[in-house]
Amino acid sequence: MGALLYVVRRRRRAREKARLASGEASAANKASRSQAATQRATASAAKTAASVYGSSSGQRASVLRQSSSFNLGKSNVDIGGVLGMDIGGTLAKLVYFEKKEPPGGMVRTCSRDPLVTMKRNLSLGDLNTREQKEALMQFYTFMDTQEQFGKAGVRDEHLAYYSHELGGQLHFFRFETRLMDQAIELISSSTIHNSIKALGCTGGGAYKFEDFFQKRMGIRMLQMDEMASLVRGLQFCIANIPGECYAFEPEPVKGTGANGKGEEEPMASEQDTFRNMRMRHMSELREKVDYSHKVHRSRTELLQSYPALVVSIGSGVSILKVDGPAKFERVSGSSIGGGTYWGLCRLLTGATDYDDSLDLADQGESDRVDMLVGDIYGHGYNKFQLSSNTLASSFGKLVTKEDPREGVTNEDVSKALIVMVTMNIGQVAYLNAKLYDTRRIYFVGNFLRHNNISAQRLAYAIAYWSGGEMEALFFEHEGYLGALGAFLSSGYEDPDGSSDEES
């Protein structure tokens, strides 16, 4: 399948190259006709943004000029503005932009978000020369050959998204940070880095690999703050990508729907939803409910709902309180995150593939490993409403056995690990949400990719603990928000994003 896609893409690129060579106006060229109007819009957008974010457009323009003038004796072309990276402890995430006409042909040149307009015009608007187009074509072709990375590098094809606001397609790609050396080797052996002078990058790797990128490829890292990038990406997704943000609810029960038709609204209003959940809590939530019904929430409401908590689960966990579009604070975190799951899973089960281990976990029975309240009491601890099957001690059952491995499968161990990590993150998030009085908790980060076990358990746990007062929310692009933020913020503003937040 991958090979087939690869061939199809190569052929498409070849056709586009041929068109360029024959002087035929490419699809991208059409957009350039509106350039004069666009520049006027940009000046206005920059002014608006400056008044919102407290930074003058003059300062931004100066930073932009500084970035643009950066040159290490390479080609004069710089296509770095189409890229955004987020290099974490475990995974490196790359977002790249491909200017093209919208799928339906309907062109919109403006966004309501002044920052998006600035990105479009200041960072992406200037990619219409023949050299730039050739450099871009070379880059896209290179990315299409991602199979060279082997299984360690993956393009998340299903997440590709056409942004009307930006006037092009966003692509999402990831690889393991530990393979950075090989990745750079591969890029260095091509010529694409000659057309990339500076690149918006966030995550610890933006600092750790700074010299590496500079020396090996002559690419300057425009270091963007990790948390600021995350919040920027998150808000872009909510505002611009329909169906991006979702929650889980119990499967609708016939005859109890809010619309009186024996069905539930797929997108009930916020008030209805919370009322509904509170009622459920009284009757049902004491027993485990299957939170597997995916529902979307109104983005208008989400965008106006502050404060909110953002729980970013990568190798470790960071917890932010967000008080406004670019106003946030890192309030908490946890060392028990995705790295804990996968590190322990590798040690305990010998697993070599992360996604496979999650699939295996789905088949496991954590009760063979975990100590439940029923194991200690013989039944529930009714006085404190702890039912018999409440988890009392993760891996605690192994303490009570002569041979801890006996009768325990790798699937059981994987399941118990994922439950342990998930429930702990849920609890730390819930306590922080209570402390900071936030009703919405956004769970993001690559730990949640390909991982419905965790998402559904978090949804249930947050609803249960809060008595239906709080809700867990998830994102389709959960692992790419930081990279998206780095892409969106780079090329036109202070590299460290310090003017855009309070901490």
Q: What are the residue numbers of the active site?
A: 226
Nearer to a copy of itself, 254 or 383 (CB): 383
Residue among 264 and 370 whose Cβ is closer to a copy of itself: 370
380 and 387 in contact (C-beta within 8 Å)? yes
Q: Are 102 and 93 in contact (CB under 8 A)?
A: no
Report d(CA 110, CA 120) in Å as an integer: 9
Least gap, CB of 89 to a copy of itself (angstroms)? 4
Minimum gap (Å) between residue 11 Cβ and a copy of itself: 37
| 3-state secondary structure (DSSP) of residue 220 | strand
Which token pair is 239?
């505002």
For residue 375, the minimal CB distance to a copy of itself (Å) is 6
In the bound state with a copy of itself, the residue whose beta carbon lies nearer, of 92 and 198, is: 92
Q: Three-class SS of residue 222?
A: strand
User: Is 82 in contact with 94 (CB distance < 8 Å)?
Assistant: no
What residues contact residue 178 under an 8 Å CB cut-off, 6+ apart?
A: none
Q: Which is nearer to a copy of itself, 41 or 371 (CB)?
A: 371
Q: Sort residue 450 into left (φ over 0), alpha (ψ -120 to 50) or beta.
A: left
389, 288 contact by CB (below 8 A):
yes
**Beta carbons within 10 angstroms of residue 314's beta carbon:** 25
Which residues are CB-neighbours of 417 under 8 A, at least 6 positions away? Answer: 340, 341, 344, 345, 348, 361
Identity of the residue, 163 or 332, whose beta carbon is nearer to a copy of itself in the bound complex = 332
Q: Which is nearer to a copy of itself, 84 or 88 (CB)?
A: 88
> In sequence order, which ranges of 209-297 are alpha helices (DSSP H)?
210-217, 226-240, 270-283
Nearer to a copy of itself by Cβ, of 135 and 373: the residue is: 373
Quote the least distance from Cβ 308 to a copy of itself, whole Å: 18
Q: What DSSP designation does 440 have?
A: E
Q: From the CB of 377, what's the least distance to a copy of itself, in Å? A: 4
Q: How far is the CB of 24 from a copy of itself (least distance, A)?
A: 47
Length of the chain: 503
The smaller minimum CB distance to a copy of itself, of residues 292 and 393, is found at 393
State the nearest-atom distance from the C-beta of 110 to a copy of itself, in Å. 33
CB atoms within 10 A of CB 9: 15
The torsion defined by the Cα of 298, 316, 477 and 54, in degrees rounded to 10, comes to 70
> With respect to a copy of itself, which residue has the nearer C-beta, 398 or 483?
398
β-pair partners for 444 = 312
Whole-angstrom CA distances from 382 to 288, 386, 423 are: 16, 6, 21
Contact residues for 309 (Cβ-Cβ < 8 A; gap 6+): 319, 320, 321, 322, 429, 432, 433, 436, 438, 440, 441, 442
Shortest Cβ 424–a copy of itself spacing (Å): 6
- The torsion angles phi and psi of 245, rounded to 5 degrees, stand at -100, 130
- Considering the complex, state which of residue 421 and residue 488 has its C-beta at the smaller distance from a copy of itself: 421
Residues that bind a copy of itself (CB under 8 A): 88-90, 176-178, 203-205, 207-210, 225-227, 314-316, 330, 332, 334-340, 342-344, 346-348, 369-371, 373, 375-379, 381, 383-384, 391-401, 404-405, 413, 420, 423-424, 427-428, 431-432, 434-435, 503
Shortest distance (Å) from residue 336 CB to a copy of itself = 6
Q: What angle do CA 491, 114, 495 make, to 5 degrees?
A: 25
Least distance from a copy of itself to the Cβ atom of residue 226, Å = 8
* Distances, alpha carbon 162 to alpha carbons 96, 104, 165, 178, 383, in Å: 12, 10, 9, 31, 54
* Contact present, 352 and 345 (Cβ < 8 Å): no
Could you tell me if 321 and 257 are in contact, meaning their C-beta atoms sit under 8 angstroms apart?
no
